Amino acid sequence: MKHFRAAIMAALAVILATPLAFSQQSTATSGADPNKQEALAKLEKMSTALQLTPAQKKQMLPVLMQEVPKLQALKTDTSLGPLQKAMQMKEIADATDAKVKPILNPAQYQKWEAMRAQERQQMLQKAENRK
């Protein structure tokens, strides 16, 4: 049982390692592409937290536009178990990180990683509180 719980906690940690798990708000408006709306919402949150320049915002939007539908599809995929989802989310996160790192300066990227770590910690606490 301890091993199973540890595996679940590890899977949650990986799931929460997704770089853009900052908000899963529904920002869909009638007639608008929900993926684009979510990407724009994430971009605004990132922009504020990381103090992105207008050029960085322009570079980040396509990255988020590619990531959001992948995460949404994975989130709604009921055929995968938690560990499989965690592994796929980690792959998506790693791919996004590779695209984001050259856009951000070192200080911004360090803050990006800290934000992700904080999100992982909060989600682990939520998961632990549900038990």
115 versus 10: the higher-pLDDT residue is 115
What would the pLDDT profile of 26-53 be if each residue is shown by its tens digit?
Answer: 333 445 688 889 889 989 998 999 999 9
Contact (CB, 8 A) for 123 and 14: no
What is the distance between the alpha carbons of residues 27 and 108, in angstroms, rounded to a whole number?
Answer: 25
Query: Does 54 have pLDDT greater than 90?
Result: yes
Query: Does 128 have pLDDT greater than 90?
Result: no
Q: What is the pLDDT of residue 97?
A: 87
